[in-house]
A and B are shown apart, each in its own frame.
Chain A
């Protein structure tokens, strides 16, 4: 009789403790994010309008659809890769590359180091990456990846023109 009573009490206590633990875990568990992880502040797309920029080019294409399709075949894991842009938004692009199409996959930089780092990164995925031999002038337009490189002081991203990028 005593054993049965002890067993019943033990089971009851066990259930209460288990429910308590479940409630605690349920309350403290991180919420699930059905649309991916939450993201931080949205940075203003920096087009560098009027600046002389360095472009890393992944390819040129006759139409935007072709460029979009090619870009879809070049994922950079979970990171931003190339941007699809009309080539005419950069003065001097056609002169450097030739009349090979109206759209290109590019990423724009203010520093040579930024361009070289991205070119190496793209090549590590096996993707084409050519740094144009001269700077081209941005007329604004579609965002082309500018702002994703460190500043010279090492304190954060480079978010403003530098001497080399001023026309």
Chain B
């Protein structure tokens, strides 16, 4: 039914009221559901997403520094049953929450908020084998530092989303969660496994 100007005012008011109720109540119900599962989206102390090499260094320090791999987390792959453990920068996680132990990190970004969203929206079925974070290494074929060397990049589902592929088969199901938490998806440059907390690099 289309609510045009011909609809009775009572019906219109009821529909608008119902919509408002859903808009208010649905997030509360979702929050309650997630809290029951032991997780809350915190959005605590996110650093600004840097643009370009200089801002990356100013915000996260030198590549291969101790801070770049200060926090670690485990991430199970849905297809092969392997749980990958990788590390990342202390400014992107490791802050204590209901779900994350105190690891000396400074924010809730990756291990609580992004990971929690993926788990609690039942999207973990799409995170597949080949999951990596920090590594002190250059970009392939260059002598320029990869964002992985700063601990601000994660590769997910590498087996399914090879570099050079300009479309996505599985990561597309949760990429919006990364993007909503200030990450850039590598699909922009045909690297769909790759998520990085930086632009212009």
The reply on A79 being an interface residue by CB < 8 A is: yes
Q: Which residues of B contact A39 (CB under 8 A)?
A: 139, 142, 144, 201
A-B contact count (CB 8 A): 108
Type the 1/0 row for B149-185, where 1 means its CB is closer than 8 Å to any CB of A: 1000001001000110000000000000000000000
Q: Does B113 contact A (CB under 8 A)?
A: no
Q: Which residue of B63, B148, B190 is within 8 Å of A36 (Cβ)?
A: B190
Which of the candidate stretches A15-23, A60-68, A70-78, A85-93 sits at the interface with the other chain? A70-78
- The answer to whether A78 and B163 have CB atoms under 8 Å apart is yes
A42 with B142, Cβ < 8 A, contacts A30-B199, A154-B66, A156-B65 known = yes
CA distance A56 to B57 in the complex (A): 29
| Interface flag for B8 (CB, 8 Å) | no
Smallest CB separation, A102 vs chain B (Å): 23
User: Which B131-151 residues have a C-beta within 8 angstroms of A?
Assistant: 132, 135-146, 148-149
Please encode chain B, from 178 to 201, with 1 for each CB lying within 8 Å of some chain A CB and 0 for all others: 000000001011110110000111
Do B140 and A157 touch across chains, with their CB atoms under 8 A apart?
Answer: no
Closest to B155 in A: A77
Q: Which of A80, A124, A155, A156 touches B137 (beta carbons < 8 Å)?
A: A80
**In the complex, how many angstroms separate the beta carbon of B56 from the nearest chain A beta carbon?**
8
Contacts of B83 in A (CB 8 A): none
B16 to nearest A CB, angstroms?
21
Q: How many residues of A contact B (CB 8 A)?
A: 34
Q: Is A149 within 8 A of B144, CB to CB?
A: no
| A154 & B200 in contact (Cβ 8 Å cutoff) | no
Q: Mark A145-166, 1 if CB is under 8 A from B, else 0.
A: 0001111001111100000000
Chain A residues 118 to 166 lying within 8 A of chain B, measured CB to CB, are: 121, 124, 143, 148-151, 154-158
Q: Which residues of B lie under 8 Å from residue A79 when comparing CB positions?
A: 135, 137-140, 146, 148
The answer to whether B163 touches A75, judged by C-beta atoms less than 8 angstroms apart, is: yes
Q: Please state if A157 and B201 are interface contacts (CB–CB under 8 Å).
A: no
Which residues of the partner chain A approach B155 to less than 8 Å between Cβ atoms?
77-78
- Provide the residues of chain B in CB contact with A124, threshold 8 Å: 132
Given A149-B136, A150-B136, A156-B62, is A77 in contact with B143 using a C-beta cutoff of 8 Å? no
| A38 at interface by CB-CB < 8 Å | yes
Chain A residues positioned under 8 Å from B65 (CB to CB): 150, 154-156
Asked whether A167 is an interface residue with its Cβ less than 8 Å from the other chain, the reply is no
CA distance A37 to B199 in the complex (A): 9
Given the contacts A77-B158, A77-B163, A80-B138, A40 and B132 also touching, CB distance less than 8 Å: no
Q: Would you give the shortest CB distance from A167 to chain B, in whole angstroms?
A: 25
Which B residues have a C-beta under 8 Å from some C-beta of A? Answer: 52-53, 56, 61-67, 130, 132, 135-146, 148-149, 155, 158, 162-163, 186, 188-191, 193-194, 199-201
